[in-house]
Structure 1
Amino acid sequence: MSEPVTALKNAAYTAGIAEVSEVGPVGMITLRGDLNASHIRKSATSIASVDFPEQRHCNSVDERGIAWMSPDELLVMCPYVEVPAALEKINKAVEKHHALAANVSDARAVFQVSGPHAREVMAKLCPVDLHPGSFTPGMFRRTRMAQVPAAFWMRDAQTFQVICFRSVGQYVFDLLKIAAQPTSEVGVFPQ
């Protein structure tokens, strides 16, 4: 079996106002169905080992998490090597119900933006109110990052996790690097 390779082979940029690094490989399963149904909730939480998220939130710890993607969709995250077994477990739990589970691990690129100016870097690129009073750790958004769709959440007060399609991974990494250039602080958010 070959080793998984991330979109940018774990690229990193550390010379700016925030650190930008590719994270991966990350195990990701799209799970669609009735999010109020116990079989969906139980299968997602048993794989991710975190509480079920509120609407527009992501609960994550280390490599595991559940992100609320839409009224009928979750992104369940686990270690990359566990995805086949996790997918089998989910499919067994939902087999008698209207639901869909798909491995999207290799179709996505994942980045981390961290540091005291991470919020500012993200605000330069996304049409989302990122003021500390409006967007706090655990909150999740699907949006556009410049010209491409992306999703992100705050892992903590200075760390964002960004997910995009693998095919635009280089573009997103380059956007983040440009937004994090040295001396590019705008000073819009209090430190």
Structure 2
Amino acid sequence: MSKAVSALEGVSHKGFVGVAEAGLRGMITLRGDLASAKMKKAVKAATGTAVPAPRRIEIEGDKATAWMSPDELLILVQYEDARATVEALEKVLAGDHHLVADVSDARAVFTIRGSKAQEVLAKLCPVDFEMLAEGEIRRTRAAQVAAAFWKSGADEFTLVSFRSVAGYVMGLLDVASRPGGELFPAP
């Protein structure tokens, strides 16, 4: 059996903020009726969170549930727990129309850390960061590729993209965070 590795094996760069590929993360696409009692029970059992409101992410320890569309959630767990989580979700949702898919190996996760982390994403994503609320997940694009991100700490954002474009995304983050490229440099 081969050993799982993240898309870029933890590469990082330090500019006016730090950017890094965050490593392996368990990610599960869950589709179905988000208002159903079974769905709510399944999500709570898998993550300890409620089904989030539109454009929200609910975090409980090292697990999270992110709203992706009116009938889709992204479940985040430890990488090694993804398979068991899929099985548990399938068991609870049996008999209801749903789809559960382990997408862990199809995605890459990045962190952007530092007091100007927002500036890096503002260069790449068409988002009004002044309106971005705490606990909000935003599905958008980073330059030319699909991405989703949320504020994961006081001075930190987490970004998810497709694994197939991980090198491109890391290159974007690296260039956007290079010293001298700050949007609001100190006077």
Give the partner amino acid of 1:178: V
1:73-104 per-residue CA deviation (whole Å, 9 max, x = no partner) reads: 00001111111111011011112011100000
In 1, Cα distance between equivalents of 2:52 and 2:91? 22
Tell me if structure 1 keeps the 8 A contact 2:40–2:50.
Answer: no
1:7-156 correspondence to structure 2 within 5 Å: 7-14=7-14, 16-131=15-130, 134-156=131-153
CA distance in 1, matches of 2:34, 2:97: 11
Distance in 2 (CA, whole Å) between partners of 1:39 and 1:140 is 24
Identity %: 44
* 57-66 vs 80-89, which moves further: 57-66
Distance of aligned partners of 1:61 and 1:18 in 2 relative to their CA distance in 1, 3 Å threshold: farther
Deviations 1:8-64 (A, max 9, x none): 0011112x1111111121001000001111211221222122333221011224531
Count, aligned residues: 185
Which TM-score applies when normalising by structure 2?
0.94
Cα offsets for 1:106-165 (capped at 9, x unmatched): 00000011110001110110001112xx11321101111100001111112311110000
For residue 140 of structure 2, give the secondary structure of its aligned residue in structure 1: strand
Q: Which residue of 2 aligns with 1:6?
A: 6
Distance in 2, matches of 1:91 and 1:66, equals 16
Work out whether residues 137 and 156 of structure 1, in 8 Å CA contact, stay in contact via their aligned partners in 2: no
Amino acid at match of 1:170: G
| 8 Å CA contact retained: 2:34, 2:51 | no
Following the alignment from structure 1 to structure 2, what is the Cα–Cα distance between the partners of residues 61 and 172? Answer: 27
The TM-score with structure 1 as length reference comes to 0.92
Q: Confirm or deny: 8 A CA contact 1:137 1:157 kept in the other structure.
A: no
User: Which sections of structure 2, spanning at least 5 residues, go unmatched?
Assistant: none
Letter in 2 for 1:20: V
Q: Return the alpha-carbon distance in structure 1 between the equivalents of residues 167 and 27 of structure 2.
A: 20
Specify whether residues 42 and 138 from structure 1 end up closer, same or farther in structure 2 by C-alpha distance, changes over 3 A only: same
Q: CA separation in 1, counterparts of 2:120 and 2:59?
A: 22
Give the alignment's Cα RMSD to 1 decimal: 1.3
Structure 1 residue 168 displacement after superposition: 0.2
Unaligned stretches of 5+ in structure 1?
A: none
TM-aligned CA distance change 1:170 to 1:61, over 3 Å: farther
Contact 2:111 2:156 (C-alpha < 8 Å) held by counterparts: yes
